[in-house]
Amino acid sequence: MDWLKIAQSYKEEYIEKTQALLRIPTVLETFNPSNNEAPFGEDIRRALDWFLYMGEADGFKIKNIDNYAGHLEMGSGSEVLGILGHLDVVPTGGKWDYPPFGATLVDGKIYARGSIDDKGPSMAAYLAMKMVKDQHLNLNKKVRLILGCDEESGMRCIRRYLEKEQMPDLGFAPDADFPLIYGEKGNVSWNITGFENDDLLESINAGERYNVVPDECVAVLKKDVRSAFEAYLADHQYQGKVEDHTYTIYGKNSHAAWPYMGVNAIFLMAEFLKTQTTSKLVNYLCKYMTHDYYGKKLGIDHFDPEMKELTINLAIINYEKGAFTVGVNIRYPLGFELDKQLSKVERTILDYGFSYTQLRNSNPHYVSPQDPLVKTLLAAYQKYSKDYTSPIVTIGGGTYARALKKAVAFGPNLPNNPDLAHQPNEYVIVDDMIMAAAIYAEAIEHLCTEQA
């Protein structure tokens, strides 16, 4: 069956529905588990309702799981193929050329936060299911598009879903790159907390999420060090400004899985403050963290031939009148001795008189490249992309695939396309999503029909 030809006839529908979804500003502001109607906020609940009602109108079975997640289902059988997407998005930091929730269509691209991560790909997967349904294929498995509401902030949604529903027997997450991602690094964060009296520092603030490199750091200082700050900016060709006692320096956002692709504004501010204060916190950051993307300063660097290097992101700092919290995230490969290595980190923190708190850990996820699931999905990609040379890979990012025993991240970003997840001016290329829909339909056909 020529799924690409079929998908072309759904192009306008894809654009219309994707734009409508992208215009819902689904940034998690506050998680409130006591709010049964909208635990992740009203806008995220609205997006979930919108998607489920759309699916019901198109003839799918739908289910809302405690307003944490939902699914749309077709097919029958005891086994389940899960396709896992998410509706929440990261904040809209940085300079945008178009409104981040405007879903502006320009030259075949839709610009919006969440366009490539992950609303646009989720809609491509939905389109694939609709195409298969409209062709009346006889499916021997249930096919579920599972939509989560909290992927960017801890995946509480998918954990709740799996408490209430059958874990899919196999699956894929359209939330990464083609050809296919068969392994994801482990992911763990920690906080450094403490208090100090400092003659210079009133406040320092940067970052909102552990999975984003902060692009702006703002410090309120008790003394006038304008001349030194402006000289520091000029000497290093950094961007920043001073307004009264407020000092701001700018970096560049990137996903925490690839921190070296960004410019961490906390690094830049800490290196300046080191020349102006004896603050123990600033000293710690400069000694163990600044301008280090691989954990070498902490002595926790590690390399695996398949998953490559451990990476580290200094993600968050909140310092107010001496009390502070610093948030750090690492993405670690196979073979990393987590407890042993984090004990090293804890010792460096305790030696400074600060406190260490480890947050939730997610272990590395791996499916063998020889597994039939991997081979079937790769064949579907190659059929429509005509790309027989790009290798399957592992990544530092985390997708819903890691929540299942047997699942991989599968598209839709094509090789050589920029990775715009978590960055300003995020966009999705419509024609790429139409091809992705064809690939996903091919995959469903071959995984869920007898004749395929």
Exposure of 50 by Cβ count < 10 A (0-12 exposed, 13-18 middle, 19+ buried)? middle
196 is catalytic: no
Q: Which listed residue (118, 150, 151, 426) is catalytic?
A: 151
Q: Outline where 292-370 has alpha helix (H).
A: 338-351
Return left, alpha or beta for 422; rule: phi > 0 is left, psi -120 to 50 is alpha, else beta.
left
Handedness of CA 114, 182, 154, 186 (dihedral sign): negative
Judged by DSSP in three states, 179 sits in: coil
Taking each helix axis from N to C end, the angle separating 120-134 and 430-448, rounded to the nearest 10 degrees, works out to 50
Backbone angles phi, psi at 108, to 5 degrees: 80, 10
151 is catalytic: yes
Distance CA(14)–CA(54), nearest Å, equals 12
Backbone angles phi, psi at 237, to 5 degrees: 60, 40
Taking each helix axis from N to C end, the angle separating 11-22 and 42-57, rounded to the nearest 10 degrees, works out to 160
Q: Which listed residue (88, 184, 216, 426) is catalytic?
A: 88
Handedness of CA 326, 118, 263, 30 (dihedral sign): negative
The helix or strand, by DSSP H or E, that contains position 211, with its residue range, turns out to be none
The identity of residue 219, as a single letter, is: A
Q: Which residues are known catalytic residues?
A: 88, 151
